[in-house]
Structure 1
């Protein structure tokens, strides 16, 4: 099992498909709670992942499915994780997110909802003033950014309470 798959599975996952509304992010969402640095990060992430809104494009560029649908009871879901293992290291680069997170819409078509940074840095990384969470096992750190799906818990929350995995 890859480092990514092990990390995400250790965080709490249930394989399956996903349920939830198919409302994806649009530019009308309220980003007013973000700092200007965080808004710049979100804009960059949207720019660099625009083509990856199509799962086929992401897979053609080397992203591979590493988990089923990740969910935590009474908290919400993350989704299906697709990682580009060559990007997983101690560096954090907004132009090259290590993981793309997808959820199927009501028609079963996978849609990009978030990106996830995964770092093996020795010290907790920070990007745009946001500290990474502890990874699910030693020597890893992770940070989600819900750039294509509104998350009521916040842009950088790990789970989205509006989403759940089907069993």
Structure 2
């Protein structure tokens, strides 16, 4: 684990209580998970912190999908990067997918992570962080039907931490 990854995990553990306290009293309620889920997500932050620099993700086996994924009226998921070896993992520190958006400088910015599990005939969607995966659906770069769970840990999502689409993420 790199020093940068450990630093990101410590910073997140310290920042979350202050971020939760800063929510205005008149803010519209957003469906969220238990606030302590951030503690459960710390391994995901730590494991993916180095991937804020997109070339590191590719070096570590995440293959980029060619197209940006968005839904009219719902928002975007961005560009999917999938590591085939992690498809099926329910380990918080091993998401199979990374979600990026164009950063305006010709690069890509990490906005979220995604756990991907194959959907077989008669299989029920798994759960992680107290949330049931969505699907069956398809994911760019993955063959066949899958169940997915997205976590917008690198960019705020007004629709919620585990919402499938982020209205703040746009495809160019």
Give the TM-score normalised by structure 2.
0.73
Alignment match, 1:124? 125
Partner of 2:162: 156
**C-alpha contact (below 8 Å) 2:75/2:166 kept by paired residues:** yes
Q: Which has the higher contact order (CA 8 A, sep 6+)?
A: 1
1-side partners of 2:36 and 2:19: how far apart? 17
- Larger Rg over CA atoms: 2
In structure 1, runs of 5+ residues without a counterpart are 1-25
1:1-167 equivalences under 5 Å are 27=15, 29-30=19-20, 33-89=32-88, 91-120=89-118, 122-136=123-137, 140-166=146-172
Contiguous gaps of at least 5 residues in structure 2: 1-11, 24-31, 139-143
Asked whether the 8 Å contact 1:64–1:83 carries over to 2, the reply is yes
8 Å CA contact 1:69, 1:78 repeated in 2: yes
Query: Over aligned residue pairs, what C-alpha RMSD do you find?
Result: 2.2
Q: Distance in 1 between matches of 2:63 and 2:146?
A: 20
Counterpart of 1:140 in 2: which secondary structure? Answer: strand
> Residues 36, 164 of structure 1: CA spacing in aligned structure 2 closer, same or farther, 3 A cutoff?
closer
Superposed CA deviations along residues 93-141 of structure 1, whole A, max 9, x for unmatched, are: 1111100011121222211100011102632111111111113158521
State how far apart, in whole Å, the 1-side matches of 2:131 and 2:151 are: 10
Deviation at 1:66, TM superposition (A): 2.2
Higher helix residue share:
2
Q: Distance in 2 between the 1:149 and 1:125 partners?
A: 24
Give the TM-score normalised by structure 1.
Answer: 0.75
Equivalences, count? 140
